[in-house]
Amino acid sequence: MPRDLVIPPKSLDEILDWLHPDRDHAGEIYVQLRHDLTKIFTWNRCADPDGLTDEVFDRVSRKVHGVRLTFEGDPKLYFYGVARNLVKESPKRAKRQVSLEDTDLRAPEASTQDEVAHMREECLNRCLQDLDPEKKELILSYYAKDKQAKIDYRSEMARELGITVETLRVRIHRLRGTIETCIERCLDRMGQKR
C-alpha cells in the first residue's frame, strides 16, 4: 500500500532541481518517474509496488543533497539504482509476503460479483461518455473486429492515421490507462456511496 510519504520541502526542491532546471518540466518528470518505477516493481513481481516507489523517493530525499553534486549522468538512473536495490531486498509476491489487498479472505458471492460487474459497466459507460469523441472512435475501431481480421485491420488503421502499428498500440495503451484510472475512481466513488 502507498505510504503517507512526506518528503521535507527542501529535499523535494533539490530533487526537482536535479531532475530539471525548469520547475514545471521537473514536476512532469517526477510524476512520470513515479509511474515508471511502480511499473518496474510490478514487472519484478514485488509485493506492494506503490509502497516501494514511495520508499525509493524517501531514500533519495535523504541523500539528494550530496548525491546530486557527485552523480554523473541521467539522475533517473540513480532512482533506478535505488529501485534495483529494493527489488533485491523485497520479497516476491506469493513467496514470502502476501499483500492484504491480494488476500482472498473468502470467495466473493455470485451476487457480489454481479454487482461489481454491473458497477464496472456503469462506470465504463460514464467514462466513455466523457472521452473525447476522436479518442472514443479510435478505441472503438481498434477493438471492434473479429479476431481473424484484427491484425490486418489495425495495420490499415495505422496506415490511415499515418503512423506505425507500434505507435497505434502505444496510443491505445495510454488511452486504456486513462479509461482504467477513470473507472477506478468511479468505482471508488460508487463504493463509498453504498
Q: Which residue bears the cell 473468502? A: 106
Which backbone phi and psi does 99 adopt, to 5 degrees?
-70, 140
| Cell numbers placing 19 | 531532475
Please identify, using beta-carbon distances, which residue of 14 and 49 lies nearer to other proteins.
49
Cβ of residue 151: shortest distance to other proteins, in angstroms? Answer: 7
Cβ of residue 164: shortest distance to other proteins, in angstroms? Answer: 5
Which backbone phi and psi does 110 adopt, to 5 degrees?
-55, -40
Cβ of residue 9: shortest distance to other proteins, in angstroms? Answer: 25
Q: In degrees to the nearest 10, what's the CA dihedral of 27, 48, 40, 36?
A: -20
Residue 181 to residues 24, 25, 144, 187: CA-CA distances in angstroms?
Answer: 23, 23, 22, 10
Cβ of residue 96: shortest distance to other proteins, in angstroms? Answer: 15
Beta bridge partners of 97: 93
> What residues make contact with other proteins under the rule CB under 8 A?
33, 36-37, 39-40, 42-43, 45, 74, 76-77, 79-80, 84, 93-94, 99, 101-102, 120-121, 124, 128, 139-140, 142-145, 147-148, 150-152, 155, 159, 162-167, 169-170, 172-174, 176, 179-180, 183-184
Distance CA 115, CA 79 (A): 41
Of the candidates 106, 103, 97, the one whose C-alpha atom is nearest the C-alpha of residue 51 is: 97
Please identify, using beta-carbon distances, which residue of 10 and 22 lies nearer to other proteins.
22
Cβ of residue 120: shortest distance to other proteins, in angstroms? Answer: 6
Q: Is 18 left (phi over 0), alpha (psi -120 to 50) or beta?
A: alpha
Please identify, using beta-carbon distances, which residue of 6 and 94 lies nearer to other proteins.
94
Please identify, using beta-carbon distances, which residue of 20 and 150 lies nearer to other proteins.
150
Please identify, using beta-carbon distances, which residue of 64 and 179 lies nearer to other proteins.
179
